[in-house]
Amino acid sequence: MIRILAVLSMIAVFAVLVWGVLSTRQRAAKEIEGLEAEIAIYTQAVDTDPTGAQAYYNRGMLYRELGEYQKAIADFTTVIELAPENALAHRYRSLTYAFLGDNAQCARDYAKSIELERKKEKPSAPPQEIELSKSSTSKYTVLVSSLKSSEKAHALIESLEALELNEDIQLAYVTVQSEPWYRITLGLFEDKEEARTILRRIQLPGIEPLVIAAPAEMGN
């Protein structure tokens, strides 16, 4: 009898471990799907307006989160070509080169970002240079979910309203690879850490929200 109980206990522990692994994989897959959906949105934006530096920057940040560092570098490089004084693009391209082990390019970009930031702090800096630096600063939002069903999207909005989070809920209709999606975001934050504080308050079944760079239209 003792042996049977021991075996059953081991089976139970194994089942819990398996469930935990599967649950983690499902959450990771959902997060990747959300990032890829956002990347597709910014890809559509740059196809519509190839001169929009902010869309390239936002997409580059998402590529970094996915670990697609070469694509991130390509986007940051485009931002630098469009807006050479953008210190953040130099800074994050530097950090991305570090992931690839290119220490020389990492150091060059990092030094350039410091130079641009110091130039921005000087009172004698031209007004248009200061304005460019301000406009390149990203804001953040919480991507709650991207859904194909309008009914599910509105049901989720009702659930969010019931949580009384005191943040604006945004519903955007977007097209991803010729398919309609309903993107639900929550709030607009100046700081990424500030946005993260709200994540633990969104406790809804099957929902794994994440912090993303806010689309350009939200920052206007």
Reported as a single tens digit per residue, the pLDDT across 14-70 is 444 444 433 344 555 667 787 888 888 888 888 877 888 888 998 998 988 888 889
182 is written with which tokens?
């309903």
Closest CA to 98 of 64, 75, 66: 64
Strands 179-189 and 140-147: antiparallel
Strands 169-176 and 179-189: antiparallel
Query: Rounded to an integer, what distance in angstroms lies between the CA atom of residue 77 and that of residue 90?
Result: 8
What pLDDT, on a 0 to 100 scale, did the predictor assign at position 6? 52
Architecture of the domain whose range is 140-219: 2-Layer Sandwich (3.30)
User: Is there a contact between 129 and 85 (Cβ–Cβ < 8 Å)?
Assistant: yes
The angle at the Cα of 86, spanning 141 to 109, to the nearest 5 degrees, equals: 110
What pLDDT, on a 0 to 100 scale, did the predictor assign at position 75? 93
> Is it true that 49-135 and 140-219 share their CATH fold?
no
Q: What stretches in the chain show pLDDT beneath 70? A: 1-30, 121-138, 175-179, 215-220
The angle at the Cα of 24, spanning 65 to 208, to the nearest 5 degrees, equals: 65
Query: Rounded to an integer, what distance in angstroms lies between the CA atom of residue 15 and that of residue 5?
Result: 15
178 is written with which tokens?
């010729």
Domain ranges in the chain? 49-135, 140-219
What pLDDT, on a 0 to 100 scale, did the predictor assign at position 125? 37
What pLDDT, on a 0 to 100 scale, did the predictor assign at position 116? 87
Q: 49-135, which class in CATH? A: mainly alpha
